[in-house]
Structure 1
């Protein structure tokens, strides 16, 4: 048993021979990382799991369907010994020692010359955690430490200073439907690294309170725009701060490209020569109904769903929505930004053939602590919105799926 701690090192295995003995669950877990490292992998095993076999079929590894034989490790740089045959493992371990091949042994860590750390990755950084010696090896403990560090790097709660010149640019980040836990890992990390955050009213506001004190937070709704339209003012603010060499995050609700004017901002940044990263977000059109117990599709009920903007009434000449065609669909209709127009929308759908008793659900402040669901039908939704004082933001779901899940009406 080793008395000294293991010496940590990163192996560069690109193009170098690695031998894996055994095609079971251990190999299945370890092979993807070896493949990603570019190793020339030889698998020696009479059998393999379907996942390991698929790697061989794809040409990612070479599989020799036989038991271990003396000499298999002669030209290897690294070996993973993971068969169910203890005698074979012992013999292979001895061969590795003879040929000075670093080897991991899954059945007896004390007899191995290398240990596999619990590893994780985050934006170009590999986190590897090893115990100090074999006596206290606890995979759950090392995995828990690994997970805590990686999660901290990913969600921005653990941020190391960047000792390099930062590239000016903008990230259009979809913040999700409102719950701060529903922003993507990448979006949260970019927020943690930002110098300036220009936030929409519908973005996850709780995340702003977690930002470091030096971060400048700008409410997009309060940008003075004078002779400019509000969107032009936002575009100009993004460009101005990026040109000052700052890392700018444009935090938007939902997804930047789902009624979020993300492409308009991307075009403006491109014309100004500002690099831009787009980080997709969880759209409220799917997540908010789901949070309220409504699946937008369900077997035998709805085979499709359609998402439309309701900010323009059906009889408005600016409307681009083909409401008569929507009335004929049998699937789910999801309407965003339509609370104040839902009465007119319902009348139009019914006038073009949608049954008046079609279920409707309005989910206000979805995924947040203030979430509220109000149910109605196309015939009653106009008066229900007024009576129940439903306010934006709210997602409106029309269709039979409204009645599939548990009812939680206000």
Structure 2
């Protein structure tokens, strides 16, 4: 068998192993989640029992009994209203039993029981409100995930002669979506992709990202020239954006002639990784303003054409990657990270970069971050690649 076939088999085995390890890790987390959750639910009961045992062992009398209120109070954060009620009943029962054991005057146990009942009622209400907020949050997250899938459609692992990997992290982890955008489509004119960053955050940024991606997917299939695709996006943003809004973006395409075309509109320069592992930034020959600001600057974007051979890779990213800082305020060195982690599998490279990025910032990003890596795996196919546009028809 050929050397290419051998490498393909090795890649398949590596990918299967990675997927198998992911399945094992998910199973382990599911197995641990059950006992941990059960332990947290039983913790309030344990608190009540420990307080009762301390009272019996020390024999200090009534001063220990108010500590029984810690049980239902703690249950409000770990149990539902029914669980809080059960812990409250247990605490009251323990309080009455210990008061009888100490032969305390009726007024003192009555005060303790009243306090326990009041804490149980308040804790039950807090638990009900917490459960309601959790259900609302779960609904919001499901909507956010649906919006993310609609906005940032999944990119296939293989497109024509290319293998592709994407990694995206929103700064607001609960929201799941942000102002960074990416898309890749196969068109009658070749593979075309975009990576961009919308000025601002929140819902306005998400709306602008949706507008850019919608126009790009339509124009990429209609326009034979990559500059015309960018012009379509520019005209749409000029009609819909405010005077202070803009989008930085890199629009790239791979033509049937075997060349890589890049249009950089005020975005961070892509990184071109040769088959030998050398990394260099593709700085624009003629800097162009971000999308939405052409009317103010009067500058038009320019098209760069580069050779792209088998084994070459192109990394597009947003400034959430390069502007990520560690505790010393040092930026993440992306080019150095790429040189350390680049391999023949784009998915492994992107995952390693993302993990190193999180380690650099201490576990949480403060801005949206997107990575898209494109690797030319084989020579161009002799026949046209089935296009995204044709499939949509």
What TM-score results when the alignment is normalised by the length of structure 1?
0.27
Higher relative contact order (CA 8 A, sep 6+): 2
Instruction: Give the structure with the higher percent helix.
Output: 2
What TM-score results when the alignment is normalised by the length of structure 2?
0.28
